[in-house]
Structure 1
Amino acid sequence: MSEPPPVRARGNSASHTSQLHTYLSSSPIAAASIAQDISDQYDTGDLDGDGDSDTDSINQPLGHCLAESYRRPSYIATGPRSTITANKLEHVHLSKAEREVARNEERSLLRDNNIIPPKHPRRSSDSTMAQKLKSQLSFGRLRKVQSVPDEESRRAEHEYLNRAVNEDTPLIGDPSRPYGGIDNPSLIDRTWESAVLAGKIQTTWQRESKVLARYSRSLILTFLLQYSLTVASIFTVGHIGKVELGAVSLASMTANITGYAVYQGLATSLDTLAAQAYGSGHKKLVGLQLQRMVYFLWTITIPIAIIWLLGTQILEAIVPEKETARLAGLYLKILLIGAPGYAAFESGKRYVQAQGLFSATTYVLLICAPTNALMNYLFVWVFGWGFVGAPIAVAVTENLLPLCLFIYVYFVHGMECWGGFSKRAFRNWWPMIKLALPGLVMVLAEFLAFEILTLSASWFSTSHLAAQSILSTVAALTFQIPFPMSIAASTRIANLIGATLAEPARMAAKVAMVAAVFVGVLNTTLLSSLKAYIPRLFTSDPEVIDLVAGVLPICAAFQLFDSIATNCNGILRGLGRQEIGGYVSLFAYYIVGLPISFGTAFGLGWELHGLWAGPAIGLAVVALINNIFIWRTSWDRAVQEAKKRNSQG
């Protein structure tokens, strides 16, 4: 999976070790926890080479590794917007691949700003196409490119390195060779530092557009694949009947609030603990943190299991439709089989992400998502299991996810952070719990604000509940495009801010905003034009189809606000002001959105139209306030604050 490349902070080679990611705040809790684990290692003599980082990595200049540049929110849900705060690393150890990605990005920016010669020198105009092709394919040329630079190139490089980068600096070197024949790591590092100090690094909207498109596409694929695990059940069960469709929605809502949100919220502490353990060079501690989190989440599964086993009784006391409550309770009982696997997968994702292995999750989902869809079809329709086939397929998939991730780690990449099972995983839980609780509160608040609409719809009728299930699914599906784009944008902006490049960061934000508007308009157009066809994909019930088609225009109307608000949150994360987005979102959801939803739906009798009016207005408020804040933000001040956070690190 392609990821946004890091751009390393400026500074001389001696000071690279202090250049940490700028918008990540330090975590004393995490530092104390890791220190305790290291102390336990020495006390037990269980070192296992832990802490012995790759010497090549230690001796190389440090930069803004993508693995530390942004803690990806690892959950996909119907509506919640991520405001999870990442944390600063004490040390950053870049792998060779990460250093190469960073250097390539720097080289590209230097070339675009005419600070180093272009990679492909221009040929004389009188050269024929045949001559050009012959020159490119000749063995002598290949040997020349791959050979060690000659003495003349070394002299040119020495002269270049000792020149100040300014408008009058001539491009020197051998013009017949890529980048003038003077391209090597030391040259790129020193030239980059000089260029940033001289304020010569700029970017263009064309360049930032390509970067955003290139890095968003793989993220969008990953998010769509993960959300397809939920969509598959709704697709297959929806055509059985509207009662079954409503039951799936009600069960999914209950599972999200009482189970999945708990797992995802608590697992966010690994975004700090595992990342800091890896960044400090104590890689085996990442595996220890993984074990500790898995055991913790499995312990939490006990009260979750009690709630799910009593799901029928609890839901019968809340919703008026008893048959819907019974089927939803049955769904939860079967889903419980997959809960431990889901908890292990949430922990495992953080384990690989701490190592910068974001592609691991994509590969796993490329296998499990189609398998889940196939099992839903087979179990529900081919094998004739009906409604119960859907939760069985989900439970099997949830246990398949950690198994596939384990196979990837064991046979492909990621075992360097595994030190084997240890009894220490049953100790030192309190720092993990303290770090997990804020993430749990935020995730639960976001889930509850959106999922509560589903519960409210059940008070109108079974048809309204079934229609709400389709509407929330469609809205969440369209969200899987702007949200990954905001992740790519926030990473790009954060890295440019970290490299003290205020104007390029501003340009990246402008491009991201334009892209968000485009995606919002596109989603609005699609939902509006296909309002008569979309509900037929989920159900054959005429009443439900009419309800969905009537409310879809409202869902389409707030797609633009949704996309802009999501992008604004991404920009704020890149600026290191993610708490602004969190406060604004909670205000918009609970103070603005939900009161409007209940007032219009029940007070004015607008029913589903009223329920969806609240989120539409709430997202408009988020987009407006965040845009005002970003518009008034001083990007130069953001760079200075980033420097200050670095120095304090």
Structure 2
Amino acid sequence: MEDGNSEPLLPPGEVDRTRGSYHEHQRSSSTLAFFAPGIEDIGPITGPRVFFREFSVEAKKLWYLAGPAIFTSICQYSLGAITQLFAGHVSTLTLAAVSIENSVIAGFSFGVMLGMGSALETLCGQAFGAGQLDMLGIYMQRSWVILNSTAVVLSLLYVFGTRILKLIGQVEQIADSAGILALWMIPQLFAYAMNFPIAKFLQAQSKIMVMAVVSAVVLVLHTVFSWLLMLKLGWGLVGAAVVLNVSWVIIVVAQLVYIFSGTCGRAWSGFSWKAFHNLWGFVRLSLASAIMLCLEIWYLTALILFAGYLKDAEVSVDALSICMNILGWTIMVAFGMNAAISVRVSNELGAAHPRTAKFSLVVAVMTSFMIGVAISIVLIAAREEYPALFSTDSAVRALVRKLTPLLAVCIVINNVQPVLSGVAVGAGWQALVAYVNTACYYLFGIPLGVVMGYRLNWGVEGIWMGMLCGISLQTCVLFFLVYRTNWHKEASIAEDRIRKWGGRP
């Protein structure tokens, strides 16, 4: 294992020469020259004309990354949703089992794996920006080692799924079926462990389109074979497990074929024993990334959990579930922008372009805010009509209409907040943001929501308003941190990080 004084990948002079030759290569390739970090840092913004010109250039770079990332997120998010859709046509028990396994066991594992894989957004992005392409493959292999080891531990959740579900109060029949399904879904867990490092590896190089194409093809195949196995051939739960597992394995294998075929150049030079170097430092950053993300996922899950203890629990939970489904789809847009800004910031910091990194943040925040406002306006305008698409119960529809203004505010905030989190990941602030999330969400937001919902008898609105205050506080804290950031210092830290976690070729 390497220590904190490990030698850099290349001596400083060699790093500079490598970076120079790398940018010479960029100049010979129009695609790389446009989407990879620029040769020079952005100049001062001297007026509106310069601002809008640079805004247009940066927006194109962001949307080149964000567009395919959004599409990929929606496709992969839809795999589980389509399985649940067909499960509802098999039986109510099958639907319940698939829903519980997806949301509780697989959902928890998905959050942990995605969070730990996000450490590569910092490391691969900054190494790519610095022109040290050889390290991207090493970082991905290190992440595979850590995430597959974590998957072995998480597999205990799948093995003891039935007991865990019964322990938290799930109905025995549903717990038994969901527990059996969880055992069959263990291959999906290890597919997560391989997929998320691959995704960050490709994102850092702006090779997102291939992920979008693979996800789209798999989604079509997944839909066809789910219908065939679950309904036509009557395999039920077994069919759900087979198709979900195979779909995720195909995603992983297709992306690996793309990488191994030589399309990534120096970024993939084969397997290396360096993957086992400096694992502890990698583990720390991966855990911080996982905690940062999971604290956010569990926070929204807690909202529905607390609603289940209200007087009109069934109506409250149904209405909140509808709102959370809508919020979930809109968050896919925010996740795409999160990935894009993380890549842009890490690339530009790695390339020692602090002003460009800061300007990229400004463009991303403004763009996400406008998207959030547009979606919210549409929802508010259609609040009398859209609840009927999700429920025939008049009480549920009435509560959804009543919650729509809160949903609209939540969409706007949740469109900006992931962008700031993406900056945090790109700059390597995961541990700091994990502390911020703990304080704002669990020491402020949840207690305030409980007081408003139960003590003040404001019901589900009170719970959501309190927790929305926690999200707002967290967003304000992130704004303050970004505003006070010394971007030149962050660029220097990025260079030190690359040298510290590198190794001699």
> TM class by shorter-chain length?
0.7 to 0.9
Partner of 1:596: 448
1:478 is the counterpart of 2:330 = yes
Deviation, 1:268, is 4.0
Task: Give the Cα–Cα distance (whole angstroms) in 1 for the partners of residues 346 and 138 of structure 2.
Answer: 29
Give the AA of the match of 1:519.
I
Aligned counterparts, 1:418-437, within 5 A: 418=268, 429-437=279-287
Please, what TM-score do these two structures have when normalized by structure 2?
A: 0.75
1:395 is the counterpart of 2:249 = no
Deviation, 1:205, is 2.5
Aligned counterparts, 1:582-593, within 5 A: 582-593=434-445
Confirm or deny: 8 A CA contact 1:493 1:508 kept in the other structure. Answer: yes
Partner of 1:359: 209
* Secondary structure at the counterpart of residue 169 of structure 2: coil
Give the AA of the match of 1:359.
M
Partner of 2:259: 409
1:205 is the counterpart of 2:56 = no
Task: Give the Cα–Cα distance (whole angstroms) in 1 for the partners of residues 45 and 180 of structure 2.
Answer: 66
Task: Give the Cα–Cα distance (whole angstroms) in 2 for the partners of residues 240 and 605 of structure 1.
Answer: 40
* Secondary structure at the counterpart of residue 372 of structure 1: helix
Task: Give the Cα–Cα distance (whole angstroms) in 1 for the partners of residues 209 and 3 of structure 2.
Answer: 29
Deviation by residue 1:188-216 (Cα, 9 ceiling, x = unmatched):
x7xx68x9599899832355146426433
Give the AA of the match of 1:204.
F
1:554 is the counterpart of 2:401 = no
| Equivalent position to 1:528, from 376, 380, 401 | 380
Confirm or deny: 8 A CA contact 1:319 1:325 kept in the other structure. Answer: no
Partner of 1:618: 470
| Equivalent position to 1:448, from 291, 294, 298 | 298
Aligned counterparts, 1:285-300, within 5 A: 287=137, 290-300=140-150
| Equivalent position to 2:186, from 331, 336, 347 | 336
Task: Give the Cα–Cα distance (whole angstroms) in 1 for the partners of residues 137 and 36 of structure 2.
Answer: 33
Confirm or deny: 8 A CA contact 1:319 1:459 kept in the other structure. Answer: no
Change (3 A) 1:33 1:586: farther
Confirm or deny: 8 A CA contact 1:482 1:563 kept in the other structure. Answer: yes
* Secondary structure at the counterpart of residue 481 of structure 1: helix
Task: Give the Cα–Cα distance (whole angstroms) in 1 for the partners of residues 222 and 232 of structure 2.
Answer: 14
Task: Give the Cα–Cα distance (whole angstroms) in 2 for the partners of residues 392 and 400 of structure 1.
Answer: 12
Confirm or deny: 8 A CA contact 1:594 1:614 kept in the other structure. Answer: yes
Confirm or deny: 8 A CA contact 1:312 1:326 kept in the other structure. Answer: yes
- CA RMSD after TM alignment: 4.8
Task: Give the Cα–Cα distance (whole angstroms) in 2 for the partners of residues 489 and 217 of structure 1.
Answer: 12
Aligned counterparts, 1:9-48, within 5 A: 32=6
Confirm or deny: 8 A CA contact 1:562 1:620 kept in the other structure. Answer: no
Partner of 2:503: none
Task: Give the Cα–Cα distance (whole angstroms) in 1 for the partners of residues 353 and 272 of structure 2.
Answer: 42
More helix by share: 2
Give the AA of the match of 1:259.
S
Confirm or deny: 8 A CA contact 1:196 1:500 kept in the other structure. Answer: no
Partner of 2:502: none
Give the AA of the match of 1:616.
L
Partner of 1:79: none
Change (3 A) 1:297 1:508: closer
Confirm or deny: 8 A CA contact 1:250 1:454 kept in the other structure. Answer: no
* Secondary structure at the counterpart of residue 203 of structure 1: helix
Identity %: 22
Deviation, 1:556, is 2.7
Task: Give the Cα–Cα distance (whole angstroms) in 2 for the partners of residues 340 and 31 of structure 1.
Answer: 33
Aligned counterparts, 1:209-608, within 5 A: 209=56, 211-212=58-59, 214-215=63-64, 216-237=66-87, 247-256=97-106, 258-271=108-121, 281=132, 283=134, 287=137, 290-319=140-169, 321-353=171-203, 355-386=205-236, 389-411=239-261, 413-414=263-264, 418=268, 429-457=279-307, 468-489=320-341, 502=355, 511-531=363-383, 551-570=403-422, 582-603=434-455, 608=460
Give the AA of the match of 1:304.
L
Aligned counterparts, 1:92-171, within 5 A: 96=26, 100-101=30-31, 103=33
* Secondary structure at the counterpart of residue 50 of structure 2: coil
Deviation, 1:355, is 5.0
Task: Give the Cα–Cα distance (whole angstroms) in 2 for the partners of residues 227 and 465 of structure 1.
Answer: 22
Deviation, 1:402, is 0.9
Deviation, 1:373, is 3.3
Deviation, 1:307, is 1.7
Deviation, 1:243, is 6.7
Task: Give the Cα–Cα distance (whole angstroms) in 1 for the partners of residues 422 and 361 of structure 2.
Answer: 9
- Gapped runs of 5+ residues in structure 1? 1-27, 39-50, 64-93, 110-188
Please, what TM-score do these two structures have when normalized by structure 1?
A: 0.60
* Secondary structure at the counterpart of residue 208 of structure 1: helix
Deviation, 1:515, is 2.8
Confirm or deny: 8 A CA contact 1:238 1:244 kept in the other structure. Answer: yes
Partner of 1:641: 489
Change (3 A) 1:589 1:372: farther
Partner of 1:174: none
Deviation, 1:34, is 8.2
Change (3 A) 1:452 1:396: farther
- Gapped runs of 5+ residues in structure 2? 500-505
Deviation by residue 1:527-585 (Cα, 9 ceiling, x = unmatched):
33445665666677777666656544532332122223334445666788777655443
Confirm or deny: 8 A CA contact 1:597 1:612 kept in the other structure. Answer: yes
State the structure with more CA Rg: 1
Confirm or deny: 8 A CA contact 1:249 1:466 kept in the other structure. Answer: no
